[in-house]
Amino acid sequence: MIGQTVRLADAISIARILAVPIILGFVLWHPPSLFVPAAAIFLIAAISDLLDGYVARRSGKASTLGIYLDLVADKILTSCVLLVFVDLGILPTWPAALIITREFIVSGLRTVAAAEGLIIPAAAWGKHKTLVTNAAIFMLFLAFAGSELPANMSISSVTPVQIFAYFIMYIAVILTITSGLRYVYNARHVLFQMMKH
């Protein structure tokens, strides 16, 4: 029973990764007319992160594959969508670069810590960052669904929903920086250990 539960959690993570090319296909095929279905799939994929975590906790055991999939699935989903937003002109390069860079730094520290047998305590700030970033991406999908992309827009045509979506995204950027700095601080023992080698 436990093995089946673990496999279910792994399957949910794999499904989240497989959702990425579908989302990108909708976004790139004929933007922004298919942003609504892309937003719906993105929302389901983001919520599935909570589901596979719940399933894994319920079993009380996680597979090595499951831990790996859970770590990379969210990063693949978020990074790919952010890069497409940059390509379409919806998002400036720097917010996407900051968010993705933070993920590289945290993943690198986790890898080194695991190799050294060290534990870096998780912080609630990271979860808040993920939640707000996903909300901002979802809002940007909806804000530009069926409307002109930024390259064809004038200042007067910017809608309140688009302004709100950007506001949420910049909150996500602030949380990205803050949570990243806190994570590095919590991982200072890992950094000190690296300096000794």
Q: Left (φ > 0), alpha (ψ -120 to 50) or beta: where does 31 sit?
A: beta
Q: Would you place residue 165 in the very low, low, confident or very high pLDDT band (cuts 50, 70, 90)?
A: very high
For 105, the token pair is 């730094």
CA-closest candidate to residue 98, choices 27, 169, 150, 162: 169
- Looking at per-residue pLDDT, the higher value among 103 and 186 belongs to 103
Give the contacts of 58 (CB within 8 A, at least 6 positions apart): 5
Q: What is the pLDDT of residues 41-98, one digit of tens each?
A: 999 999 988 776 666 566 655 667 777 887 789 899 999 999 999 999 999 999 999 9
Task: Look at residue 1 in the predicted model and tell me its pLDDT.
Answer: 47
Q: What is the mean pLDDT of residues 104-122?
A: 77
Distance, CA of 154 to CA of 37 (rounded, Å): 26
- The pLDDT, as a whole number, for residue 63 is 67
Instruction: Give dist(CA 195, CA 197) in Å, integer.
Output: 6
Highest mean pLDDT among 5-9, 69-73, 96-100, 142-146: 96-100
Number of domains in the chain: 1
Question: For residues 134 and 31, which has the higher predicted lDDT (pLDDT)?
Answer: 134
CA pair distance 161, 149, nearest whole angstrom: 14
What's the whole-number average pLDDT of the chain? 85
Q: Per the structure block, which two tokens stand in for 131?
A: 């939640």
Q: Which pLDDT band, with edges at 50, 70 and 90, does 29 fall under?
A: confident
Is the pLDDT at 127 greater than 70, yes or no? Answer: yes
Cα–Cα separations (whole angstroms), residue 181 to 20, 93, 189: 28, 21, 14
* For range 157-183, the mean pLDDT: 93
66 near 56, Cβ under 8 Å? Answer: yes
Q: By residue range, what is the domain housing residue 85?
A: 2-196
Cβ neighbours, 10 Å, residue 47? 11
Mean pLDDT score, 13-36: 92
* CATH number where 20 lies: 1.20.120.1760
Q: Which residue type occupies 6?
A: V
